[in-house]
Amino acid sequence: MRRAVRVLLVIVVLLLALPVLLLGWLSIDQPKSSGKARIPGLTAQVNVGFDSDGIPRIRAQNETDAARALGWLHARDRLWQMEQQRRVGQGRLAEIVGSSGVGFDKLMRTLDLYHLAEASYEHLSPDTRALLDAYADGVNAFLDKPSGALPIEFQLTFHKPEKWRPADTLVWGKLMSLQLTGDYRDEITRARLLTRLTPKQIDDLMPDFPDAPTTLAGLDWTRFADALPPPLGPKTASNEWVLDGTRTDTGKPLLANDPHLGLQAPALWWLARIELPDGAVRAGAFVPGNPLLILGRNDRIAWGATTTGTDTQDLFVETIDPADPTRYRTPEGSAPFETREERIKVRFGDDVVLHVRKTRHGPVLSDIEPRLASDTTKAVALAFTALVAEDTTPDALLGIARARDCAGFREAMRKWVSPQQNFTCADSDGHIALVLPGAVPVRKAPPPGVPVDGADGAHDWVGLIPFEELPQTVDPASHKIVNANNRAVGPSYPHRLVDHWEPPYRAERIEEVLATTPVQSVKASAALQHDNVSVETRALLPLLRGAKPVTDLGKRALALLDGWDGTMNRDAPQPLIYAASLLKLQSLLWDDELGDLAPTMHGFRPEAVQRILTSSRAWCDDVRTPAIESCDERLTRAIDESAATLAGAYGSDPAKWRWGAAHRATLAHPLLSMVPGLKQLIDISIEQDGGDFTVHRQASGGSRDLVRFDSVHGAGYRAVYDLADLDRSRFVLATGQSGNPLSRHWGDFVRRWRDGASVTLAGGPEQAAAGKKQLRLVP
């Protein structure tokens, strides 16, 4: 009934606001899920059964036929997502969206990601190339004869997709490397902060930052930062733990994994199970646009991943040769820039011509901004391990899917290039393992955390860490492996990975719960994935309780924090009071020092607040604001002012405030949610528990107004793998299988995702029959 009402409302809105698109909208059919469809190139019929959630069980005679079927099914369910991904990677977004896409296109053309993706195809194994070719055949079979009109996004933009190519798949890996490795933006932030703060002050806000060099003079880093498009998404946060049989109720390993990325509708991931004649199985999270299983299990092993956060990017400030601006200085003398011209087509506008330069370190990013590009003295180049043609990461993914044990899994990881990840494995023989594969540079000297001089060669890369020397372990004595983006290696590790690791709060909570439940089950680990205790509150709450509010409202709000254990429950007022007070306190502690750079420190920084209030109280000795010169007075003001703000939004009784009212998981469509009237009709956002530092991560990244703390970053996919019976493994998505807001599978997972429910991807005839839908894909 609700679906029928939603469809009716959408049609009404379009009748009123978008009549020119009505015919195309009404012609949209539900995806073909039964009967027969033809895919040229198939060697045999592929049978696809759908369960009640629209999740397919694909039975194919070989891997390439399965890839063709996947291509057709992905295009059926998520064609716009696939189109958007490849357009971003190609640097051709402006052809669809106009001038708003030029910034992204400039960056992607400068990095040359798509040409690198095309070149990497030649470095892949024949088996991987065959899968990529077959997948493209499947996508194109759908494009040639779609099961109904193309998705509404194509009609709204009057856009027709081009044929799919293997490079369209490969460029997604480059985009993920760029998203999950944001070191160069951190270097720019630190360079900007150095114009206002001392190195000691920066260390208070961003720990592990050494003294800065003096090579930054004369460069406008704020202009540089403003010229860059927004990041593709948050770069870190995921959870994983793997336990051997001595720690589980079955005597076999258990592996839990929930990768955290930006929340959207549809979710990035798409669930499927593939069965091959030899008994081989692939089940788990695919990404539409790619035939390779990213996270999941086969019939013998399961695997998961979190982001390491390794520093695999450096910015080099190149010195332009004053005698010849087409050259730049190197330790060996003057060298010519490599140059090329890129023409960006802009919908409803003139073409943009971009002149791209490249040095021995990499592409010149400063050319994105016209005034910086015209600088005749300096240019800023990016070195990045993902900017190579010899990228065999897809070979690694295929090797993982074929591995029979964790030893084979480890061997497959030799092919992994970027981004570096913390990969865990568990196999049916009882082994567990961790390996951190990827290309990690070895430098002449440790990087200082800011852009460095490119002419002297002092910080040049001189090689990569050998695979055998990358962090890895098999069957540790602790019988467990835990990672939540926290520090992956100890001080004795001989190589540098990164100076600043993510806060350890989620990992600490996981370890704490595992210690109190020494024998784990699938159910217990699924519950741990939804744990809402935010452990950083244990250090901060005593500090906040030291405030002495002067308003009655502030006193009542602070009193509610007494006895609160840090559980971020959506029906409780304490998480809202805590979050608003913390952000207000941060603003009072350092915004006056940062001035217009204050937005660079936006977001929750509990470790910085704790440091300032305990050991770096000089931040509070500001003669420019004598009325609030002490830390205690700023703390009091934070409580009173944040309470007043919350009262204006949620009423005058703090006991009736609710975290969920301010904290909704934002599951918005990147295009349709911008259409007037449609946003509310297709919105599947939902009130959420959790916070930025809970295992059940639902991160807002802060709040501009201290009123809305909507979650924009969390686990779009969760899985718990049971190696005693892999068919008992549990899975859930944040949204649903379909990218069509009119489909019953647009958001049918949302409440289960929020409340901790999940499904299996078991096989067998009974599972296929349960959905009562069978599709035959024939040559």
Give pLDDT tens digits for 592-624. Answer: 889 999 999 989 999 999 999 999 988 886 555
Q: Regarding predicted confidence, which is higher, 176 or 618? A: 176
What distance in Å separates the CA atoms of residue 578 and residue 537, rounded to the nearest whole number? 9
3-state DSSP percent of the chain in helix, strand and coil, to 5: 40, 20, 40
Total residue count of the chain as it appears in this document: 779
Could you tell me which of 252, 148, 200 has the C-alpha nearest to residue 522?
252
Match 């009072």 to its residue by tokens: 588
Please report the pLDDT score of residue 463 as a whole number: 97
pLDDT score for 207:
67
Between 146 and 689, residue with greater pLDDT: 689
Checking if the pLDDT of 114 tops 90, the result is: yes
Residues 89, 164: Cα–Cα separation, whole Å: 13
Per-residue confidence (pLDDT) for residue 374, from 0 to 100? 84
Pairwise CA distance, residues 140 & 555, whole Å: 64
User: Are 48 and 77 spatial neighbours (Cβ–Cβ below 8 Å)?
Assistant: no
Q: Is the pLDDT of residue 236 over 90?
A: no
Q: Check pLDDT > 90 for residue 31.
A: no
Per-residue pLDDT at 509 exceeds 50: yes
SS3 assignment for 352-405: EEEEEEECCCCEEHHHHCHHHHCCCCEEEEEEECCCCCCCCHHHHHHHHHHCCC
- Does residue 712 register a pLDDT over 60? yes
Average pLDDT estimate for 321-330: 97
pLDDT value for 715: 97
Predicted pLDDT of residue 626: 60
pLDDT in tens, 528-578: 999 999 999 999 999 999 999 999 999 999 999 999 999 999 999 999 999
Q: Which of 562-571, 713-722, 761-770 has the lowest mean pLDDT?
A: 761-770
Of 223-237, 474-488, 664-678, which has the strongest mean pLDDT? 474-488
Residue 42 reports pLDDT greater than 70: yes
- Residues 215-219: contacts with CB within 8 Å, 24+ apart? 215/317, 215/451, 215/452, 215/453, 216/191, 216/317, 216/450, 216/451, 218/377, 218/378, 219/191, 219/317, 219/378, 219/380, 219/451
SS3 label, residue 47: strand
pLDDT tens track for 126-174: 999 999 999 999 999 999 998 778 999 999 999 999 999 999 999 999 9
The stretch 230-244 carries a mean pLDDT of 85
Asked if the model's pLDDT at residue 338 lies above 50, the reply is yes
d(CA 131, CA 145): 21
DSSP 127: H
Q: What is the pLDDT of residue 21?
A: 45
DSSP 306-370: EE-----EEEEEEEBPTT-TTEEEETTEEEEPEEEEEEE--TTS--EEEEEEE-SS-BBGGGGSH
What pLDDT, on the 0 to 100 scale, is given for residue 211?
A: 40
Q: Tens of pLDDT along 257-286?
A: 999 999 999 999 999 999 999 889 999 999
Of 120-124, 224-228, 459-463, where does mean pLDDT reach its minimum?
224-228
User: Which residue from 225, 194, 196 is spatially nearest to 211, judged by alpha carbons?
Assistant: 194
pLDDT digits (tens, 9 = 90+) for 621-652: 655 556 557 899 999 999 999 999 999 999 99
φ and ψ at residue 257, rounded to 5 degrees: -150, 135
Q: Pairing relation of β-strands 452-453 and 313-319?
A: parallel
Q: What is d(CA 212, CA 703) in angstroms, rounded to the nearest whole number?
A: 31
The crossing angle, in degrees rounded to 10, of helices 537-544 and 574-594 is 80
Distance separating alpha carbons of residues 559 and 662, to the nearest angstrom: 20
Torsion of CA 291, 295, 297, 300, to 10 degrees: 100
The DSSP result for 189-218, as a single string, is: HHHHHTTTS-HHHHHHHSSS-----STTTT
DSSP class of residue 292 equals: S
CA 432 and chain centroid, separation = 25
* Residue tagged 């409803």 (tokens): 348
Asked if 777 and 45 touch (Cβ cutoff 8 Å), the reply is: yes
pLDDT at 30 over 90: no
pLDDT of residue 729: 98
Contact 497, 489 (CB under 8 A): yes
Question: Residue 695: phi, psi to the nearest 5?
Answer: -55, -45
Give the rounded percent of residues in the chain with a pLDDT score beyond 70: 92
Average per-residue pLDDT for the chain: 91
Residue 242: exposure state from Cβ atoms within 10 A (0-12, 13-18, ≥19): buried
Q: Whole-model pTM?
A: 0.93
Give the pLDDT confidence score for residue 625 in this predicted structure: 57
Q: Which residue has the higher pLDDT, 716 or 16?
A: 716
Give, to the nearest 10 degrees, the angle between helix 505-516 and helix 522-529: 150
User: Does the pLDDT at position 5 exceed 90?
Assistant: no
Report the pLDDT value the prediction gives residue 622, as an integer from 0 to 100: 59
Give CA–CA dist 443/449, Å, rounded.
13
